[in-house]
Amino acid sequence: MRLVLFKIMAITFVSAILNPLFGQEVSGQINDSSNTGISEVVILFDGQRLSKTNIDGTFTLPEGYKFPLKVELSHPSFSDRVVILSEGNTVFTLKYLDKSENLEEVIVSSTYQKESNVIIPTSKVASKKLEEYSPVNLVSAINEIPGVYIQSGAINTNRIVIRGVGSRTLYGTNKIRAYFNGIPVTNGAGETSIDAFDPEDIDNIEIVKGPKATQYGTNLGGTLMLNSKQAGEGETYLKNSFTLGSFGLIKNNISVATASKKLSFNINFDHLESDGFRENSDYNRNTVLFTSNYEINSKNEIGVLINYIDYFAQIPSSIGQTAMAEDPTQAAFTWGAAQGYEDNKQVLTGLNYTHRFSDEFSNTTSFFYSYIDHYEPRPFNILDEYTYGYGARTLFAKDFTFLKNSANLSFGSEFYIDQYNWKTSENLYQSNNGNGSLEGQLLSDNRENRDNLNVFATITLPITKRLKAQLGLNVNKTSYSFVDEFNVGENNKDADRSFDPILAPNLNLVYQFTNFLSVYANVSRGFNYPSIEETLTPEGLINPDLGPETGFNYELGSEAFLFNRKLKVHLSAYLLDINNLLVADRVGEDQYIGRNAGKTEQKGIELSVLYRQAFSNGFSFSPYVNAEISNNRFIDFVDGNADYSGNKLTGVPGFKVNGGIHFGFKNFGLSTNFIHIGEVPMDDANTIYSDEYTVFNAKLSYRNQITKHLFIEVNAGVNNFMDETYASSILINAIGFGNSEPRYYYPGMPRNWFGGLKIGYTL
């Protein structure tokens, strides 16, 4: 891998020297929406400052650049904008920071829907924020969002909790819906995994908290929308990012991309390997991502997505309190003895087609296919499974006039069908002479067919010049069938389960008091279906009485901009009432069944504060803080003879705060950040809590434009530099078997470092 990197460096360096530079001096003008020139706008090319506007909003570029030239326009009080400079296209307009500040702005029919199009504020994580952390995973950056908490047991073991929803899922995430480039990555059982997506391939992530994104599912937890990086029109580049770090970390990412007016494509390859800091925690992953779009003519466009992931991950699993205190690097005894691991290969493909009937009316239709092959030796059995799924999604968008203002109607449907095939076998690791897992006799052989249909419509109406309303409706129909391929006769457990249709309405309101202050409100209904495994009884039969969780979300919030828009404050309060809460009861070692337990009330307050300040000498700083206080409780929860009504919801911290400061000076950047997690109840009786903890991180980078086409960046960082011992994830309601302690804890990583080199060549 190092030899490949050195070859790339040599090729790009020689190419940069030999490539002649042609160009001419170009000047331009940058205005606001009232055509007034904006001063202090920085013009950036590949992160390097080329020029800055004067008091009249004009700028001049130095000679020697070849046009057309893709640059970024940046100002702390306005939204950043990427533009193409040419001789005849040098007057540009910048808008104030957020689209919610201008009610005259409407949702426009787009060529490919990659945003939720919710009119009230949603949370977004841009690639710049991802670059402030280690390039290994997405967890740290997403955890900055108030109301969102990802518990991370390992690179491949994450559980996403949004406003308390999903906290009772024992492994993985299954109460949100996620999309990658507009293609669903949530399977037919509602399970979502984002661990394998490479942060260096991601351009942005939008997080909708609660069931507000009508056209992208109405799960109670919310929706995640991940979008990959794309080359801009007129841009061609080759980039390589190489990272080394603690515990045998090696990561290499190569990106090749080009885009013209008609055709664009991106190819990304990523390799990641790590020894892990715990026993039995090796990790090795390779991913390939290909995206392409082709404009047939002004009315028709097609796009392709292919994402392949292949990873091998050993599993150290959770440990007990004594092991956590004495040596958190150890694996759970049985998992270490079995040398448990997962071997996973998955493919996601999508084809989208956009047709514009007119400037105001368009349709985007996508077809997609996914395949996952998973093999996992566990102490209690060996799981061998594969899943393939396919589906289609169509979305019509129509702009029209309402009360002399622009409005929008969107409607469509999405269906997803998948088949899950799984077998379990005996694990004879105890008689394998210390060589780990050994497959024995077949224990089960099953097939599940899962169908999911969503039909949706959303209308956005400017009621007055300051008041905008958005009304949506989602109708869902889900059914399962279970086929027992192992047992015959009266022991056969074939069964079908078809749930009644669920209607999920949604209302968003936003009112703009001034250009600096807006308020909003939301009322929405959502649901979460149980997986087919949760519907099974201990005897392996489908429980016909187990139904979906349903609930209503109520939210009020406000955004304010102060000090010439350098300070942004976002405050919100929510109440989420959930009925028929799905809980998992343990029936054996790492084996669970589901049931509807009762009712919860989840409420909280979230605050985000961000300040941006830039100076004429090239120095800038941007402090921020995000905080949440929540009160999540069981309203009605009786488990056998135990009444947990009134207790705190298990697995949710009552307090989370994070913040940091990003400093910039010319070519240097320094990001410092911290996250503090309050104590978490680990059992339904609230008799045991995890300890609160605080983790600090920092990253320093230097970037330089060697030539007009070649840039380099050197970076180094330290995670958990105070070397805090903490549980980065917990297993709720753990039970000890025999004389063993309950295994509640997944230890967080101790102090670790990383360093990287990035090289990019742009034509």
DSSP 342-397: EEEEEEEEEEEEEEESSSSEEEEEEEEEEEEEEEEE-SS-EEEEEEEEEEEEEEEE
Q: How many domains does the chain have?
A: 3
One domain, residues 685 and 740:
yes
The whole-number pLDDT of residue 591 equals: 53
Q: Copy the structure tokens of residue 100.
A: 């919610």
Mean pLDDT of 474-496: 89
Domain boundary among 199, 226, 253: 226
Is 421 inside any structural domain? yes
Select from 28, 53, 55 the least CA-distant residue to 42.
53
Stated as kind and residue range, the H or E segment containing 14 is helix 2-18
d(CA 440, CA 509): 59
Q: How many CB atoms lie within 10 A of CB 540?
A: 16
CATH number at residue 213: 2.170.130.10
159 and 172 Cβ atoms separated by less than 8 Å: yes
**pLDDT over threshold 70, residue 18:** no
Select from 664, 542, 558, 552 the least CA-distant residue to 599.
552
Is 19 inside any structural domain? no
Is 575 inside any structural domain? yes
**pLDDT over threshold 60, residue 5:** no
The whole-number pLDDT of residue 80 equals: 79
CATH number at residue 703: 2.40.170.20
The whole-number pLDDT of residue 95 equals: 64
Is 103 inside any structural domain? no
Q: Which carries the bigger pLDDT value, residue 529 or residue 364? A: 364
Stated as kind and residue range, the H or E segment containing 748 is none
95 and 348 Cβ atoms separated by less than 8 Å: no
Q: What share of the chain is helix, strand, coil (3-state, %, to 5)?
A: 5, 60, 35
**pLDDT over threshold 70, residue 338:** yes
Kindly report the CA angle at 118 between 116 and 123, in degrees rounded to 5?
Answer: 75
420 and 448 Cβ atoms separated by less than 8 Å: yes
> In the chain, what percentage of residues exceed pLDDT 70?
88
Helix or strand or coil: residue 147?
coil
One domain, residues 213 and 236:
no
The whole-number pLDDT of residue 286 equals: 96
One domain, residues 237 and 205:
no
Q: Copy the structure tokens of residue 434.
A: 């210390």
Helix or strand or coil: residue 4?
helix
Is 679 inside any structural domain? yes
The whole-number pLDDT of residue 84 equals: 77
Whole-number Cα distances in Å, 689 to 180, 453, 745: 36, 40, 11
**pLDDT over threshold 90, residue 92:** no
Helix or strand or coil: residue 697?
strand
Phi first, then psi, for residue 717 (nearest 5°) are -150, 165
710-746 per-position pLDDT tens digit: 999 999 999 999 999 999 999 998 888 777 899 999 9
One domain, residues 247 and 367:
yes
The whole-number pLDDT of residue 497 equals: 82
The whole-number pLDDT of residue 16 equals: 36
What lies within 8 Å, CB to CB, of 459 at 6+ separation is 407, 408, 409, 410, 470, 471, 472
**pLDDT over threshold 90, residue 413:** yes
178 and 485 Cβ atoms separated by less than 8 Å: no
**pLDDT over threshold 80, residue 77:** no
The whole-number pLDDT of residue 569 equals: 96
Polymer length of the chain: 763
One domain, residues 733 and 637:
yes
One domain, residues 201 and 176:
yes
Is 556 inside any structural domain? yes
One domain, residues 61 and 146:
no
One domain, residues 207 and 242:
no
Q: Copy the structure tokens of residue 274.
A: 């790590």
395: alpha, beta or left? (left if phi > 0; alpha if psi -120 to 50): beta
What lies within 8 Å, CB to CB, of 343 at 6+ separation is 312, 374, 375, 376
463 and 507 Cβ atoms separated by less than 8 Å: no
CATH number at residue 45: 2.60.40.1120
696-717 per-position pLDDT tens digit: 999 999 999 898 889 999 999 9
d(CA 466, CA 74): 28
Q: Which carries the bigger pLDDT value, residue 269 or residue 581? A: 269
Mean pLDDT of 577-601: 70
What lies within 8 Å, CB to CB, of 641 at 6+ separation is none
One domain, residues 541 and 604:
yes
Q: Report the C-alpha dihedral over residues 71, 74, 79, 80, rounded to 10 degrees.
A: 30
Helix or strand or coil: residue 238?
strand
End-to-end CA distance of the chain: 25
d(CA 690, CA 669): 35
Q: What is the pTM of this model?
A: 0.85
Domain boundary among 51, 74, 93: 93
d(CA 100, CA 518): 8
Whole-number Cα distances in Å, 698 to 58, 661, 704, 717: 37, 10, 20, 6
Q: How many CB atoms lie within 10 A of CB 248?
A: 13
d(CA 255, CA 230): 10
Q: Which of 185-194, 298-307, 359-368 has the lowest mean pLDDT?
A: 185-194
One domain, residues 408 and 261:
yes
Helix or strand or coil: residue 429?
helix
The whole-number pLDDT of residue 537 equals: 63
**pLDDT over threshold 80, residue 107:** no
Range of the domain at 81: 24-93
Q: How many CB atoms lie within 10 A of CB 55?
A: 9
Question: Among all chains, which residue has been given the structure tokens 């925690």?
Answer: 281
One domain, residues 189 and 266:
no
What lies within 8 Å, CB to CB, of 543 at 6+ separation is 535, 536, 537, 595
The whole-number pLDDT of residue 26 equals: 64
Mean pLDDT of 544-548: 77
**pLDDT over threshold 90, residue 691:** yes
E strand spans, 53-110: 58-60, 69-75, 78-85, 91-93
Helix or strand or coil: residue 611?
strand
Handedness of CA 325, 331, 335, 338 (dihedral sign): negative
Is 268 inside any structural domain? yes
d(CA 17, CA 56): 37
Domain boundary among 203, 226, 249: 226
One domain, residues 215 and 166:
yes
Q: Which carries the bigger pLDDT value, residue 639 or residue 692? A: 692
β 148-154/502-514 pair status = unpaired
389 and 416 Cβ atoms separated by less than 8 Å: yes
d(CA 42, CA 620): 12
152 and 729 Cβ atoms separated by less than 8 Å: yes
Is 14 inside any structural domain? no
Radius of gyration over alpha carbons of the chain, in Å? 26
Q: What is the mean pLDDT of the chain?
A: 86
